[in-house]
Structure 1
Amino acid sequence: MATPEAKATELKNQGNKAFAAHDWPAAVDFYTKAIELNDKEPTFWSNRAQAYIKTEAYGFAIRDATKAIELNPSFVKAYYRRATAYAAILKPKDAVKDFKTCVKIDPGNKDAKLKLVECEKIVRQLAFFAAIEVGDEPSAAEGLDVDSIAVEPAYDGVRLEGGMTQEFIDDMTERFKNGKTIHKKYVYQIILAVRKLVYDEPTMVEVEIPEDVELTVCGDTHGQYFDLMELFRLNGTPSEKHWYLFNGDFVDRGSWSTEIALLLYANKWLRPNCFFINRGNHETDDMNRVYGFEGECKAKYSERVFKLFSESFSALPLATLIGKKYFVLHGGLFSDDNVTLDDIRKLNRHKQRQPGQSGLMMEMLWTDPQTEPGRGPSKRGVGMQFGPDVTKRFCERNGLEAVIRSHEVRMDGYEEEHDGKCITVFSAPKYCDMTENRGAYINIGPDYKLKFCQFDAVPHPNIRPMAYAQNSVMSSLM
């Protein structure tokens, strides 16, 4: 009869196979079962840490790597993985310490040396940003005379004269498919127009679906432009009769984030009352600096374009209430049971451009559901987690049927949790070219019934995710 240790090793091997097949949740499950049989083997903890990194559960990855280090203080891989997880949650000082330990234990580890240099560079950059930060920094639009910018006769795209047109959107869509950009004048016009539109919207937009209209709720798209094109091909493009709500995280990671942002903004400008955008945790400066969007803006357009996008992101609404039945926000619920929809209505998001480390805005962008009752520490290392009882009380208190959120990969593209009262939708299939998940979206008609639709990734040009990230530490997460 096999010993518990032998059974645990077999489960670890099955976890390795699932990991190689890019089925990260299955890998986590196998490593967990192995740990339950033998919790003294550091490799099991370190392997699960790596699987957690792939699911962006960086807080859990740090915990597991720490356990592996306790069991084997010379375990280089565990230090390396903990450092990677620290870097991912924007704690580069902690990452520096662990990369230094890697190099000390294994002086020939070239990769750890490179990552150490990169993390030290990030620490210096963050110190620089903190030093120059001022409360009332002038808008990037100051001194920008868009009207005086000439569009050269050689420009081969549709011209934008005055407001947005469907013809311009159709032409822009094709230009982006073919690897082209649009003229910088039009980029400025789109961002400035939408910044004003969304600034004037309430923090929680409230939507009723008319009799002859369908509303589609999309989750994270993360710069996966060609998969968004597939979603539109299958489901139909935005129109007066087909409304869309994009629930945050449309930029970063994928390498067509400017294309998605400009396309969503152009649709918002053309149909402001039929097209809706919630802010996600990646529509924030600190994430954009390390996960690619800032670098992409600079590479394709200019630093000023990034700064204007940043201003527009901080103006985006944080939630949408659909038919008084569905509360749609990017992250999830709150650390305080007393929070109501009225508190969201009253929240002045314009006072605080970035979400910070605590408060309602941070929780709306960062929290996640858990299966256990109550609340628990975040698997991400940022925010917290909330259980089915928390969701039930929130829905009952606010007269809701369900909370719809995004923020997390789901292998089927969506998941109904907490007795159907917490629904996750994620619209980036084969996320970052390395997770074998499907994408999904939710169609809601005037009867307010939810129809879940799944779709698969499509081929895209050979540009890797995080191609515009500023350092190799972040690229190594891919």
Structure 2
Amino acid sequence: MEDDNEVIEVPEAPPPPPPIDPALVTEAEAAKDEANKNFKAKHFAAAIEGYTRAISLNPNNAIYWSNRAAAHIKLENYGAAVADAEKATELDPKYIKGYYRRGDAHFALGKYKLALKDLRTAAKVAPRDPDLRKKLAECEKEVKRLRFEEALAVPESEAISVLATLDLSMYDNIEESYTGPRMQGNPTDGYVITEEFVEAMLEEFRQQKTIHKRFAFEIIRQAHTLFRSLPSLVDVTIPDDKHFTVCGDVHGQYFDLLNIWKINGKPSPDNPYLFNGDFVDRGSFSCEVIFALLAFKLLHPEHMHLTRGNHESKSMNKVYGFDGEVKAKYNGSMVDCFRELFCALPLAYCLNGRVLVLHGGLFSQDGVTLEEIRKTNRFREPPEDGVMCDALWADPSPVPGRTPSKRGVGLSFGADVTRTFLDANGLDLVVRSHEVKEEGYEVEHEGRLITVFSAPNYCDQMGNKGAFVRFNGNDMVPHFTTFSAVPHPDVKPMAYANSFLMGM
């Protein structure tokens, strides 16, 4: 275990590199300046291209590497950001932003001890930097919290179900002042969700109000019971004369979720949906999104489906806002209930035996079968490798084979991996989410892999469209609908996130 009080030494500067043609240096600076303009305009992918060109012309400039790391952080490519920041600090051990960037990326990955080491190294160079001091204090707090949790941790086999022991009697006497929607039934005989309740709840959320804690806990508990009964891979049959809609990440963008249902209709037996993970975090209406999705799942259990995403996890929720939002709008006990609920969400769905839908992507080894996914133990926090990790975190790549992930978790896989997996399992297509796309979707890997992302103008800054994909049961050909962001109340994304991230 690392010592929090270890002595941090700033590395010595390396020998100076051989000189570069001044014309190339000038060209590299021009590429960097153009990339900086794209960064300020929030065109982060274009910024990365510009910094990459600058690096190719002059690889000895630490600023280029650090700037590219910053752009990677904006696109959540934390593994790539760590590598670039590492190079910046190698070129110039006293370049403070190199340590900053690497610390930011490590923090975003939940690697608080590594982040703390980077920030302490930076503090040796710039001990009076106010932003650095603030980040250092926040990181030290997270490391202390982590150590406290580790000290109290019990083996998974001994963990007690929060939902199974949940006593809701303290919420049974609903205050007369509560004017919001009420579930049908009572504490003695049980509560039943109705269409009237769901419609009233959606409107309550639109007005930035909450539902009573008694009903909120009831929705979580009933949904958990339902999800626990499902396998890790669920088979869905779409009749020839019916259709089926798959949506990608929503990320707490409640008003854009309502717009999807305005465009395509609400979930019902005649209009089934699958929401493919990452319902929460980043957007500041995550409670509204998850309760809306769960309520429709309870109302139409055979026609509303939810896949687990990498943000339906403890480590992500602590950093990216969901924990803070639940505590602000409801209470801390509900955070633990959501943790347990998220661990019950299926990892994948197979549509008509032809289309596999999962949040991240394919696997680090050949030979994975649908049956293996079906039997994977998902009732836990995501591990750092294996089938479950890959299903939540992997990304497609234009490069053949398997390569390290730019995220720092999972892997990247090429078209050959997709082809081999689909052919071996008798499938036509993979549908996944997990990545923002300019048009809301992208078709790649010889047309056999689709990414769909349903959070338009992601985090109020990316300018992307959202999309959903619709299949008809008779042919299972994908049909895409794209849409733009709609206005929402003046609550900024990440409003409930860890304050460390505000400076990233």
Which of 342, 358, 370 does residue 329 from structure 1 map onto? 358
Contact 2:171 2:214 in 1 (8 A): no
* Runs (5+) with no aligned partner, structure 1: none
Contact 2:168 2:214 in 1 (8 A): no
How far apart are the structure 1 equivalents of 2:67 and 2:336?
A: 39
Match of 1:229 in 2: 258
Match of 1:319 in 2: 348
Match of 1:76 in 2: 96
How far apart are the structure 2 equivalents of 1:340 and 1:395?
A: 10
Is 1:59 aligned to 2:88, yes or no? no
Match of 1:406 in 2: 433
Match of 1:465 in 2: 493
Is 1:157 aligned to 2:157, yes or no? no
Contact 2:28 2:54 in 1 (8 A): yes
The percentage of aligned residue pairs carrying the same residue is 48
Q: How does 1:281-360 map to 2 (within 5 A)?
A: 281-350=310-379, 353-360=380-387
Which of 156, 169, 177 does residue 198 from structure 2 map onto? 169
Which of 209, 220, 223 does residue 180 from structure 1 map onto? 209
Match of 1:444 in 2: 471
How far apart are the structure 2 equivalents of 1:195 and 1:146?
A: 19
Which of 465, 484, 487 does residue 456 from structure 1 map onto? 484
SS in 1 for 2:192: coil
Is 1:248 aligned to 2:248, yes or no? no
Give runs of ≥4 in structure 1 deviating > 4 Å. none
1:230-252 CA distances to partner (integer Å, 9 max, x unpaired)? 11111211111111101111011
Bigger-Rg structure (1/2): 2
How far apart are the structure 1 equivalents of 2:407 and 2:368?
A: 23
Which of 458, 466, 469 does residue 431 from structure 1 map onto? 458
Q: How does 1:117-132 map to 2 (within 5 A)?
A: 117-132=137-152
Q: Tell me the number of residue pairs that the alignment of Structure 1 and Structure 2 aligns.
A: 474
Contact 2:103 2:116 in 1 (8 A): yes
1:386, CA displacement in angstroms? Answer: 0.9
How far apart are the structure 1 equivalents of 2:85 and 2:327?
A: 36
SS in 1 for 2:272: strand
How far apart are the structure 2 equivalents of 1:107 and 1:304?
A: 39
Q: 1:11 to 1:468 in 2, by over 3 A?
A: same
Q: How does 1:127-138 map to 2 (within 5 A)?
A: 127-135=147-155, 136-138=158-160
How far apart are the structure 2 equivalents of 1:287 and 1:453?
A: 29
SS in 1 for 2:343: helix
1:72-121 CA distances to partner (integer Å, 9 max, x unpaired)? 11111111111100100111111111111222211221000100010011
Match of 2:69 in 1: 49
Match of 1:139 in 2: 161
SS in 1 for 2:139: helix
1:150, CA displacement in angstroms? Answer: 2.0
Is 1:375 aligned to 2:402, yes or no? yes
1:42-66 CA distances to partner (integer Å, 9 max, x unpaired)? 1111111111000100000110111
TM-score (norm 2): 0.91
1:39, CA displacement in angstroms? Answer: 1.1
How far apart are the structure 1 equivalents of 2:209 and 2:222?
A: 22
Stretch moving more, 11-20 or 53-62? 11-20
Q: 1:409 to 1:143 in 2, by over 3 A?
A: closer
How far apart are the structure 1 equivalents of 2:170 and 2:63?
A: 61
Q: What do you get for the CA RMSD once the two structures are aligned? A: 1.5
How far apart are the structure 2 equivalents of 1:197 and 1:146?
A: 22
TM-score (norm 1): 0.96
1:147, CA displacement in angstroms? Answer: 9.3
How far apart are the structure 1 equivalents of 2:374 and 2:209?
A: 40
1:148, CA displacement in angstroms? Answer: 6.7
Stretch moving more, 206-215 or 37-46? 206-215
